[in-house]
Amino acid sequence: MSGIASKLQHNREKSQGIGANSKAVKYLNQDFESLRNSCLERGQLFQDDCFEPLPSSLGFKDLGPNSHKVQGIQWKRPRELCSKPQFIIENASRTDICQGALGDCWLLAAIASLTLSKQVLSRVVPHDQSFEKNYAGIFHFEFWQFGEWVDVVVDDRLPTKDGELLFVHSEKNSEFWSALLEKAYAKVNGCYEALSGGSTIEGFEDFTGGIAERHELGKAGPRLFKTIKKALDRGSLLGCSIDITNASDSEAVTYRKLVKGHAYSVTGAELVEYRGNRVQLIRIRNPWGQVEWNGAWSDKSSEWRYVSDSDRDRLIKRCEDGEFWMSFSDFLRQYSRLEICNLTPDALKDDQFQKWAESEFEETWRRGVSAGGCRNFPNTFWMNPQFVIKLEEADDDSDDGEDGCTFIVGLMQKNRRRLKKMGQDMQTVGFAIYDLPKEYYGQKQVHLKRNFFVRHASAARSETFINLREVCNRFCLPPGEYLIIPSTFEPNKNGDFYVRVFSEKPASFQEIDDPVDCHVEQINIDEDDISDRFKKLFGQLAGADVEISAFELQRILNRVVGKREDIKTSGFSLTTCRNMINLLDLCEKVNKHYIP
């Protein structure tokens, strides 16, 4: 019951725009403006009782209460560390992010990428805060979490050792936005230690709400240049890097003047005529320094003499400082990895960009019910949740001879970092895609069984099953209806997940079980329908106003169902009772005519 009530309440709020970046959910019901105003009125600095300066906020193992690493740690406000702290000095930049005593370099790389886009940065780091005007020791940040944006409040007490910040810090000792952002992200994930180990893509997604894909350039397919060009047309954020093999490689410069371990941005992709052939070019931006590519197609290379004046002027003059061109073939040879973060339509304010169509669902794997494992377990695979995507319209660019529909599927595990404290790590997850038989087209209440999957091979699948938060892949399939089946690798593994599809053309996406409808009609009950026993029970709890709160509703329902021998239940939780009342649009109370 609690799951249904919660889902109904969540769907209703989402239909009202709650959870968008402009109407972020107040994390733990903490309202930044209200809390700050209250502190200013009382002349006190904010103290966050939801994330206190205690050992439990630091960690559970390496940073646990008994670890030698936490000895001597003191939580201090910036004004205790320097005479004139500032939130952001001039503009946010890469030098604002230096790693401390925590293995969260993946997060630092994502924060560094944030500084490349003022628009994206402003969605995560609101401007309405400083250590001067209206300072009250309280700050807030917004993160995307499994389909909705949350506004996270923190106080500015930061963990220090020997008078210096313990974790993320700026090169400028008086700047604190990056340290406070890390604290807010640690709060969302349960503690600082929960941030150890991860993928930059995870940070990309939580800072943008986009869906991110990774391409190993040593295994690049024939469509990658086209994928890059289309991603740029859609306003996606693209980053590339060169792997380091050991610590001494970090910041090492190659003979072609590229820096290992640095995050570069991909900002352009063009085709030019060169000596009778068409050459694919990639434009790269190095925002961190003056070192710049010196190979073919670099700023002063001889290749530019053999292209038309119009192409040369168009491409070279459009370059900004720190940008350079290189051939796509050199790009594949020199760089190791490309990451593309495809943004949601609401993140793109500029009409020049084409926009993805987005669909999403939340579901669960439950042991013995819906946790069937991968195809290696045919007797249970069919038990997994099943989703249908309907691709009706092929891509516009069918000039390459392929008549297909491009879409991206992302399968994300929910809240796994928070479970680290309890010894639970990421599950190994993936998904398979099947052609849906035409006799099932348009049907919602069909859950395909074992025999279908034994007899049919998948049309596509995730490249791998992996124990990361998300597995994400891009596909191009002919128009039609397809079945998407997300699963853990092994059966009987419990977990919550979030699956979404980005498609170039609008596509319908639905679960093929009965959907939960968030439209709840008012239930009217005649006086004669209410038993005398129920009236007496209600009257005892309701009092003269004949209304009950969520606490009282919980007592009534649990007393009623507790006497039912045909119902096996642990009872109604307080959260469920609150959701039931909220669904009736009442002011935290309900009267007897609304209870069946």
Q: Is 262 a catalytic residue?
A: yes
132: buried, middle or exposed (CB in 10 Å: 19+, 13-18, 0-12)? exposed
Q: 514 pLDDT exceeds 60? A: no
**pLDDT for 592:** 44
Whether 102 has a pLDDT exceeding 70, the answer reads yes
Please state which CATH number belongs to domain 357-511. Answer: 2.60.120.380
Strands (E), 112-245: 138-145, 148-155, 158-161, 164-165, 211-216, 237-241
At residue 155's C-alpha, the angle toward residues 153 and 159, to 5°, is: 125
Which superfamily is assigned to 214-342 in CATH? Cysteine proteinases (3.90.70.10)
Are 102 and 196 contacting, i.e. CB atoms less than 8 angstroms apart? yes
Q: Which of 215, 262, 374, 472 is catalytic?
A: 262
pLDDT band, very low/low/confident/very high, at 516 (cuts 50, 70, 90): very low
CB 224 within 8 A of CB 215: yes
- In this predicted structure, what is the pLDDT of residue 595? 44
Domain 527-594 homologous superfamily, CATH = EF-hand (1.10.238.10)
Q: How far apart are CA 261 and CA 253, in angstroms?
A: 10
- The pLDDT of residue 593: 44
Q: Which residue has the tokens 């925590």?
A: 102
Q: What mean pLDDT comes out for the span 353-374? A: 91
Mean pLDDT over the full length of the chain = 86
Q: Please tell me the pTM assigned to this model.
A: 0.77
Which residue of the set 21, 189, 286, 579 is catalytic?
286
- Residues of each domain in the chain carrying CATH 2.60.120.380: 357-511
Band (570; pLDDT cuts 50, 70, 90): confident
State the pairing for strand pair 25-26/148-155. parallel
Q: Angle 232-120-469 (CA atoms, 0-180°, nearest 5)?
A: 85
| Delimiting residues of CATH 1.10.238.10 domain(s) in the chain | 527-594
- The answer to whether residue 256 scores a pLDDT higher than 80 is yes
Q: Name the phi and psi angles at 572, rounded to 5.
A: -90, 130
Calculate mean pLDDT across residues 145-174: 94
Please confirm, yes or no, whether 286 is among the known catalytic residues.
yes
CATH 3.90.70.10 in the chain: give the residue spans.
214-342
Instruction: State CA 222 to chain mean position distance.
Output: 29
Choice among 98, 105, 319, 518 that is catalytic:
105
Higher pLDDT, 124 or 100: 124
Q: Is 105 part of the annotated catalytic residue set?
A: yes
CA distance 180 to 78: 10
Higher pLDDT, 246 or 417: 417
Q: Is the pLDDT of residue 420 over 90?
A: no
DSSP bridge pairs for 264: 240
- Spell out a b/e string for 503-539, using b for 16 or more CB atoms within 10 Å of the CB, else e: bbbebebebbeeeeeeeeeeeeeeeeeeeeeeeebbe
Say how many C-beta atoms besides its own lie within 10 A of residue 330's C-beta.
Answer: 18
Residue 431 and residue 417: Cα distance in Å, rounded? 21
The answer, yes or no, to whether residue 480 has pLDDT greater than 70, is yes
Helix (H) or strand (E) holding 298: none
Q: Name the least confident of 307-311, 437-441, 442-446, 583-587.
A: 583-587
